[in-house]
Amino acid sequence: MFPHLTGQPWNRLRLHRYFSSATEPYQVCVIGASHAGCEAAAASARVGARTLLLTKSLDDIGELSSDPSIGGIGKGTLVREVDALDGLMAKVADKSGSMFQMLNGTKGSAVWGPRAQIDRMLYKRQMKRELRRYQQNLYIRAARASSLLVDSEPHDLHVSGVKLDTGEIIHCSKVVLCTTREYRIGTTGDDDLEDLWSSLRRLGLEFHQYILSHNHVLDGKTINFTNLTRQDGDVSPSPFSFLSSAVANAENQIPRYMTRTTSATHDIVRDNMHLSALIEEASGSRHCPTLEAKSLRFSHNSLPVWLESEGYDTDIVCANGLACTLPEEVQGPILRTIPGLENVKMLSPAYGIRYDYLDPRILTGVSPLPWLSLLHFLELHPLETLEEKHVKGFYCAGKPAGTPGYEEAAGQGIIAGANAARSALGRGPFLLKRSESFIGSLTHDLITRGVPVPQSTSPPRSDYRLFVRPDNAHIRMTAKAYGAGVISRGRMESHSRLLETYNRVLRMLKHCIRNAHSWRARGHSVAHSNKQKRFGSLMHSGGLSYM
């Protein structure tokens, strides 16, 4: 299994040695191989810092902990921005997606939502393959961190390393936390991180909690798809990555099916509301409400439920839209009230998970360059490096910063990893403003407003959403990232060639002159007129098929 990693058959000890053969001290240590962790480690390695990625298990690399999908409205823009920064998520999704759609494809490009259903196993395999490209600076080790080590200065605490549960000490000047303590509601939780959490509390860091619910896992062989609404992927899918000419499985996409809840569904939910595991002290998600919440808010509506495959080599189906925290014995009758699921076999019930997170308002990093601090003060932009205020060298991204979404975590991971590496190398911070990216808008909101509920991304959150679009992420961000050393020279050369072609075609079209009849014959909405019209004057008109 996974022989491509080493060229030899799967052997856990051999992989451990392959990924952790370094003997010299590290500059950056990333804790957790989550989406944030993988992007943080890769970004740190691209910048040039000697980086160690710690993960509880090598099997956790690239794990899709919730629904197997990437992108969507707003989230798809984030994935494109991650790719513009030479991140991994877009490239991996293009190679492991089983169904691709451009949501809102008939509307303006500002609200386009690239989305893909993902094969879980393919995604993990491709993520490991992408990480292997950075082996010159990146080392991956299966180990558990038990304590954050700091040196006390007269006014500040500075990271000096990480202590493992074996007693071994990893010396480093920067640590990026990308994992959190999580556990199902009603259980005592995962104690793997208890020692690490205790050490962080001793440093004065305070944890809060939010709660998310996960969907049912169903046996696809027991679902009756006959009368359900089928939805196929796009005929010519648009890749996430600007470097991809096409997605890997464009000719072999797996359709998804839509069914709907019924009045009987919501009656059962309301009758058993007192059994819900939702509790007052944990914050829930505004963007992904539970079935209980939807039954109360939309009691007279029939709500859509999407049945989506989890991969090519499995019959497992995820029921997207039925996430709840009711007891398992209640969930069976709920499923049987939904068309197509009358005889379904539930492989795993829906459940709620509690996550610990740090208040992200403590993550307003301070630049070592006074003039840059003054500049951002005058622009009313804090320095969004995701470094903790009082423990220098400690960064946070993803779930521990209050953003459980894959795409939000990936964007944060790049910012935290790149800034940790640049700081370790004695360079200034890499900053993205609200006006130039969704990632900048997300991090700005996090560190100025906090997260009363789990933070997600949608176009209305950006004040510049007509400019911050999924189709121009590389134009907005790649050159700036190259100047900061966040992307490679090869990536910048590819971007330059793409931009040159784009500008050449744009100049050609601007000087293209035709009459109204000719434009209409080509599918453009142009008013009847005998005058010749220049394409440049029509670019802002509706109906133009313009790249």
Residue 282 has a pLDDT of 42
Residue 133 has a pLDDT of 93
438-475: per-residue pLDDT in tens?
Answer: 898 888 888 887 766 655 555 556 677 778 888 899 99
The structure tokens listed for 271 are 């009758």
Residue 469 and residue 78: Cα distance in Å, rounded? 9
Do 61 and 128 contact (CB within 8 A), yes or no? yes
532 alpha-carbon distance from chain centroid: 47
Instruction: Tell me the pLDDT of the chain averaged across its residues.
Output: 84
331-358: per-residue pLDDT in tens?
Answer: 999 999 999 999 999 999 998 888 888 8
Nearest CA among 341, 268, 265 for reference residue 306: 341
* DSSP letter (8 states) at residue 308: E
296-324: per-residue pLDDT in tens?
Answer: 887 677 899 999 999 999 999 999 989 88
Residue 324 and residue 334: Cα distance in Å, rounded? 11
Do 465 and 77 contact (CB within 8 A), yes or no? no
Residue 194 has a pLDDT of 86
Q: Which residues is 316 bridged to in the sheet?
A: 219
Domain with CATH 2.40.30.260 in the chain: 214-354
Contacts of 2 (CB under 8 A, 6+ apart): 10, 15, 125, 128
- Which parts of the chain have pLDDT scores under 70? 1-24, 154, 186-190, 278-287, 299, 364-383, 451-462, 516, 519-520, 522-547
CA distances from 395 to 180, 214, 392 (A): 13, 28, 8
Residue 454 has a pLDDT of 57
Contacts of 183 (CB under 8 A, 6+ apart): 189, 190, 353, 354
E strand or H helix at 158, and its extent? strand 157-164
134-191: per-residue pLDDT in tens?
Answer: 989 999 999 999 999 999 876 778 999 999 999 999 999 999 999 998 887 755 555 7
Phi-psi group of 32: left, alpha or beta (phi > 0 → left; psi -120 to 50 → alpha; rest → beta): left
The structure tokens listed for 36 are 């944030």
Do 140 and 33 contact (CB within 8 A), yes or no? yes
Residue 299 and residue 473: Cα distance in Å, rounded? 40
* Residue 156 burial (10 A CB sphere; 0-12, 13-18, 19+): middle
Residue 34 and residue 24: Cα distance in Å, rounded? 25
Residue 376 has a pLDDT of 45
Residue 494: half-sphere exposure toward Cβ, Cα within 13 Å: 16
| Burial 454-469, CB ≥16 within 10 A → b, else e | bbbbbbebbebbeebb
E strand or H helix at 12, and its extent? helix 12-19
Do 258 and 305 contact (CB within 8 A), yes or no? yes
Nearest-Å Rg of the Cα atoms of the chain is: 24
Residue 143 and residue 165: Cα distance in Å, rounded? 8
Residue 111 has a pLDDT of 85
Which residue spans within 361-463 are E strands per DSSP? 391-392, 394-396
Whole-prediction pTM value?
0.86
The structure tokens listed for 368 are 């070592």
* DSSP letter (8 states) at residue 228: S
CATH topology of domain 214-354: Elongation Factor Tu (Ef-tu); domain 3 (2.40.30)
Residue 5 has a pLDDT of 40
